[in-house]
Structure 1
Amino acid sequence: MSDLLQIEIVYALPMQQTTLVLKVSAGCSVEDAIRESGILARHPEIDLAVNKVGLFGRVVPLSTPLNHATRIEIYRPLLADPKEIRRQRAEKAKLQTLK
């Protein structure tokens, strides 16, 4: 069995998505893989102290060990609270039906 794991790292902006596929050593953590990938040089706005990261849509600590075929996602900070946006949209729809 190989000591290398093939993983994927994804970071999405509104108009651009970066997907990197790379091989890392077994026992590698999420943070190790992100740093090895070079994505921090491509996207200097990523701050691992601020940006959350996840595996397949679930937020995990940077120290999480990786498995083969893992997809690491780097999340951008939210600009608005989704619950607040839904509430505002519902209020607006309610006002429209009253007119």
Structure 2
Amino acid sequence: MNVGVCYAQADRQIWLKIDVPENSTIVEVVHISGILDQYPEIDLETQKVGIFGKISKLDTVVKDGDRVEIYRKITADPQQVERRRAT
């Protein structure tokens, strides 16, 4: 079955299309994709994951054509946020 795995950083993004066995879970898909080797900063224990923008658990079974998304933590500099409000 074909699925996609995507991850975005502030300056770049990756979208992999891979073949996985039927009844694969999100965590299995992420490991099969090899994305953790390319982006060692990904921590599945703390970062959220989802399918097509809907947050899902790591043990969710994916379907053919699904796009598994790994969400990064969004951080903002409080001083930058304050400056934007002032303008």
Output the TM-score relative to the length of structure 2.
Answer: 0.87
Unpaired stretches in structure 1, ≥5 consecutive residues: 94-99
% identity of equivalent residues: 34
Cα distance in 2 between the residues matched to 1:9 and 1:71 = 6
Q: Report the number of matched residues.
A: 82
**How well do the aligned residues superpose, as a CA RMSD in angstroms?**
1.2
Query: 1:23-34 alignment to 2 at 5 Å?
Result: 23-34=19-30
Cα distance in 2 between the residues matched to 1:14 and 1:47 = 17
Unpaired stretches in structure 2, ≥5 consecutive residues: none
Cα distance in 1 between the residues matched to 2:61 and 2:67 = 12
- Does 2:81 align with 1:57? no
Larger Rg: 1
Select the structure with the greater relative contact order (CA < 8 A; seq sep ≥ 6). Answer: 2
- Which one of 7, 20, 24 corresponds to residue 16 of structure 2? 20
- Does 2:40 align with 1:71? no
Query: 1:78-89 alignment to 2 at 5 Å?
Result: 78-80=74-76, 89=84
What CA deviation, in whole Å up to 9, does each residue of 1:43-99 have, x standing for no partner? 00000001110111111000000100000010001214xxxx5xx555x25xxxxxx
